[in-house]
Each structure stands twice: as structure tokens, then as C-alpha cells.
Amino acid sequence: MKWCVIGAGGIADRRTIPAIIKDEKNTLVAVMDKNGDVAKATGEKYGVAYFNDEEEMLKAVSCDAVYIATPVMCHYEQSMIALKYGKHVFLEKPVCANAIDSRKLVDAFKKANKQINIGYMMKFHNLHVKAKELIKNDEIGEVNTVRLQFTCWYPDIKGAWRQIKALGGGGAIMDLGVHCIELIEYILDDEIESVKSFYSTKTFSYEVEDGAIIIFRTKGGVLGHIDVNFNIPDDASESKLELYGTKGYIQCNGTLAQEEVGKLSHLYAPQGDYSAAQNRTSGIATIYEGEKGNLYEKQIKSFRETVESGVLDYYYADRAVQVQEIVDRIYNEN
């Protein structure tokens, strides 16, 4: 698969381009960035052509797929440009800043019979796959309650697009919350039906929220709670994903991350009768470790294999659109 990249700094350079070129079935052909210095630096680093304009790049070189990692407000237009040139697109999360554009975008790819996938890489983490499998195998019974915490330290930075509503579409919810929503729906194989949120900009002076709590109920009746923050120091933050059911729990620590690290603890502790004494002897959990693979390599491989199979698959793109519907509701109704 021959690849071009739009938005060649940031996550593209740090994670995804290395993942693309690691797979010997891929070739990186060209990169584009509107910042000329970034385009040149990334192009030279990987020994490929570099451009400042996406159409110029797509006219000049031949490729099968385009990876897009630009500010959220560029996602719709740049994906549509790639589609106009007949390309499959791997687009960074979130799809677009609102659900209407997200739906239009995914539908346009379906209509043109081109693949579009969104960069929600956390569902490729072996421990998240394990959590899904444990639930499916009734290893914690019927899931009742889930909790997630995902944070990063993100102070005021002049001109940073994520801190400007018109460029990023929102703050901690749009940037971190979307990962949590997508992941929990994947693990539970369920959809969020009702959602409420409190959010604020408490610590920093930018216009988007620097912290939020989201509470929800899924169609299957699971109650959930998500915390996302830009204002908790990285060392003080606990990346957590906890699922509680009628027969036990799954607790993931450190798995909401860009690396396939962390631990999953699973406790199977079914209980018979009501015990008035409420003696809680803590059971012994089974511990599973992150397999330290590369989430970005896994997601790019999955995308390439889908395209090569000739059977295009929009299941996760549709789910990613549904995530934006939830985010719209949070921003519009709370």
C-alpha cells in the first residue's frame, strides 16, 4: 500500500509514520504539511517527497491511501480532497468536530467505495481485547458499572490549536473523552444511550474545557463515569478503566495510553446469598500484562488488510460517528 501523509508533524512523525514504514507491505511516498519547515524536516527524515499543499501532492505522486493527522477542523475538507483523488483514508480521531460533518464524511466514503478508518488505536491494546473477551465469557457476570480516567497535563500554550474552540472543536472531552467513549462501547459491545456532563475551564485560561466528568447509561443498562482532565500532572494521573459486574471485576491500570503497557486485574468472585455481616475478604485477582506491542502498527495493519481484502468495512467508522453524536449532546445539552 502506497501512503501519503497530510499533517506531517505531531503524532504522524512520532507514532504513525514509523508504524506505516515498519510494515514491509507499505511504502511511504510523500508527506505534506502547511508548515514548510515541518514538511521538509519530515520528508527528509523519511527520504520522501514533501509538499505544502495537499492537492499538489496528490496530483504529483501516486498513492493508495492517505493518513491525515491535522487539527480537527481540517479533517472534513482534507479527507474529502483525498477522496476526490480516489484515495482510502486513515483519519486521526475525532472524525470531525460535529456529528453532521462526521456522518457526511463517512457516508461519502461509503458511496465512493473507499475505506475510511479513524485513529482510535486503544481498541487494539491486548488488555482491552482481553477485557472484552472476559466479559463475553461471563467472567465478571453482568456488567453494571464502569469507570474511566484519562488525563494529560496541558497548560496554556500560545496558538495551540487544541486550546482554540474553532480549531479543535472542544477541549478535554473532544480530545480525551472521545477515546474513552469509543473504547468503552467497544469493550461492552454496547452503545451509550443517555449522557450528562459537567465540564469547566478551571486551571488554565484557554477557552475550551480543561476538565470534565461524563456520566452515562448504555442501551444495555450499564452505568458509567468518565473523568478527563488537562489539569492533573502526568505523574499524579491514574489512567484507569474499571468494569464491575455481578460476578467480579476487571481493573485496567495504565492501559489508556499510546503504548501497549499497563496491567489488567481480573477477579471472579460470584456470591450466593445476601450476607448481613458484609465481611469483605478481598479475593485474589489474576493479573495480565500489556504485551508491549505497537498500537499504531496494529491499527495501520488492520486498515491495510481491510483494503486489500476487497471487503470494505465501515463498522468502526460508523461507531466513531456515533461518538461524535454523543459529544454533540454533551456540548449542546450540558
> Which stretches of the chain bind ligand NAD, using CB under 6 A?
6-11, 33-35, 38, 69-72, 74, 92-93, 119, 121, 161, 175, 258
Q: Spell out the residues 6+ positions from residue 180 whose beta carbon is closer than 8 angstroms to its own.
A: 148, 150, 214, 226, 228, 256
Pick the closer one to ligand NAD by CB: 188 or 300. Answer: 300
- Residues forming beta bridges with residue 65, ordered by sequence position: 3, 88
Minimum distance between the CB of residue 273 and ligand NAD, rounded to whole angstroms? 47
Minimum distance between the CB of residue 138 and ligand NAD, rounded to whole angstroms? 32
- Strand ranges (DSSP E) for 152-304? 192-200, 211-218, 223-229, 240-245, 248-253, 263-268, 286-289
CA 236 to chain centre: 22
Q: Phi and psi dihedrals of 148, rounded to 5?
A: -135, 145
Pick the closer one to ligand NAD by CB: 15 or 132. Answer: 15
Minimum distance between the CB of residue 133 and ligand NAD, rounded to whole angstroms? 23
Minimum distance between the CB of residue 91 and ligand NAD, rounded to whole angstroms? 8
Pick the closer one to ligand NAD by CB: 188 or 320. Answer: 320
- Cell numbers found for residue 257: 495510553
Minimum distance between the CB of residue 129 and ligand NAD, rounded to whole angstroms? 17
Angstrom distance (rounded) from CA 15 to CA 124 = 15
- Cell numbers found for residue 302: 488492520
